Structure 1
């Protein structure tokens, strides 16, 4: 969604995930949460930093994490150009913030099922490929994020309906969180899904006549 990406950030280095419809949908949920000034926000798998910068505009104290060096450089540049304070860390998911807790955690992880998942995603595909079931990182986030939430803290995750939102809800509820789908949006297939249509249909993940993908935002709250 080129217009959206230009509106949100100034710079995207090659190989860094650019804001798309999933970013926009999660941004809408972030704005609905309206993080209070000074609240602690974590954007895990930050990519270009679009979500981290949006949280910083609310006055939140934001930490952005990504495993990609180019993503880290991109967020640093965009934070500087936007004159917004964002603490940026390079690392795998929650490793760089071990021992900390947050009022809000944002996650737009890779979630596209991938036919060849034997050796894990490489290069640019790390931004979208997520194993044969699309849950390579989703399950880890559902397992590890609840412990990082403060009482009353909220986790917002966006992913495709192809990667089993019901499982996301079950895992988060099992961890003691109050979880529900708060946003849905149907979008035309992008280039990656178009290239995998036949494989996804053979696996039963796509209906024969389906031409749209559904995105969902799951909201999970620690109520104790």
Structure 2
């Protein structure tokens, strides 16, 4: 792992650890480097403006100050192209428009040389991505309902085309065999249901808050499924 990549990974590790932080010894073991190297990396992060704190003595360690902003992320050309390819290939994915906009923001703040190399490399990656099959209006409403934890009212077409109106408490998005689904508690059926996004004809976010239904109620995910946070 290059040092720039390790510094980014180190920042993310400290961010995930939160207020409890981590010892230099533990960080060194995780990254396969010496304690001295980790301490140099922490000093380098602090020099760039990262809100690194240190606490001496037993139970001490290193962490990031809560609520503080982090310095800009530095990407290699290959990492930038990987983000571009992922965003381009996932037109039907939830939050796809936001992902594409976020990637463009990242590319815009790269140093000119890295951005030029990324653009050259991007020309060597082709993605056969069909246009989104789901209405952008529908997608936006469902995304907002999931984000704000509000009930979404949908007009949904069954497999034979019969439409019904449902009030759904969003629980999660899932991708199965190339199609994206909204999985949530259907108040009409009083049960957990899967709704294919491209069969939702209309959607509007209501003011009603979702209940306390959890991902565990959906059932066991396929062996190959995993959350997008990795």
Compare CA radii of gyration and give the structure with the larger one. Answer: 2
Does TM, scored on the shorter chain, surpass 0.5? no
TM bucket normalised to smaller: under 0.3
Structure 2 length normalisation: TM-score? Answer: 0.26
